[in-house]
Amino acid sequence: MNTVLYQFLIEVPTAAAIWSALLVLALTVLTVLVARPERDRRSDEAAAEPAPADVAVEAADLRRYAEEVAVAASGAAQTARRWREMWLAAQEEVDRAWSAYDEAESAARRFAGAGALPVPRTPRTPAEYAARERWLHQAAVVAHWRGELPVERLRDVFAHRDGWDPRRHPVEQEVLLARAVRDSRRDDYRRAVARERSAWRDADLAADAARALAAEAYAAAQRLRPGRVPAVPRTAPSVAPASSAARLRPARVG
């Protein structure tokens, strides 16, 4: 009995000490597990913060990009101005071509009733036909020198083709020549209009590119300023041409 009581008194404090040690160890592990997320979060935040060297590199990249975009925007604006100048020159060419065509059309209309009048009677001799041919050739050459008759039609006159008959009376030849000049001026006007429309499209594309680069350059410059939110400028460079259709004449071109 004494032996059992002795063992009980010896083993119980030992077991209590073991359980106390286990309890302390469990509490320590629990404390470490609870405190570790806070340390992990601080470690993540410290890792997320860029190093001063990385910030300097990023700022240098932004500055270099802003400078490159600014140079590109300046070049695009100059290109857009050049295209606009070419478009304005094409507009002036259209105006000149229209005036020339309108004048030729008025001259041709003056001969509208000439077909109803009888052709003057002249002796049909070889000398008369030679004189008519000389008159036609001289009148065609003069019209060509004035820029009224293209070289292709001048060749037709000298080759006596496409309706050019040197045996006709000079009155008839003058009517045909006026109509030929009118048709030539009409072709010139149509070509000028086509060139003006093409120049307007090119100028419009160049203006769009200049506006886009100007907006990007503005945003890149804003990103260099701390605490500023990039924004597109309200007004873009005024380099876009006006509508081409507003410049075209209601031409009497059939």
Return left, alpha or beta for 124; rule: phi > 0 is left, psi -120 to 50 is alpha, else beta: beta
Cα torsion through 225, 227, 231, 236, rounded to 10: -30
Alpha helices in 110-148 (DSSP H): 126-145
Domain residue limits, the chain: 1-32, 56-120+169-247
Q: What is the mean pLDDT of residues 210-224?
A: 86
How far is residue 177's CA from residue 146's CA, in Å, rounded to a whole number?
13
- The model's pTM is 0.62
Each residue's pLDDT tens digit, 89-134: 999 999 999 999 999 999 888 877 655 455 556 667 788 888 888 9
State residue 23's pLDDT score. 55
Q: Is the model's pLDDT at 226 over the cut of 70? A: no
Answer for the pair 66, 217: CB distance below 8 angstroms, yes or no: yes
Query: Which residues are within 8 A (CB) of 147 and not within 5 positions of it... i.e. 6 or more apart?
Result: none
**Beta strand extents in 171-242 (DSSP E only):** none
Which band of pLDDT confidence, cut at 50, 70 and 90, is reported for residue 59?
confident
Q: How many CB atoms lie within 10 A of CB 185?
A: 25
CB 224 within 8 A of CB 66: yes
66 band by pLDDT with thresholds 50, 70 and 90: confident
Checking if the pLDDT of 234 tops 60, the result is no
Q: What is the mean pLDDT of residues 168-197?
A: 91
Question: Does pLDDT of 7 surpass 80?
Answer: no
Evaluate if residue 230 carries a pLDDT over 70.
no
Chain centroid offset of residue 124 CA: 65
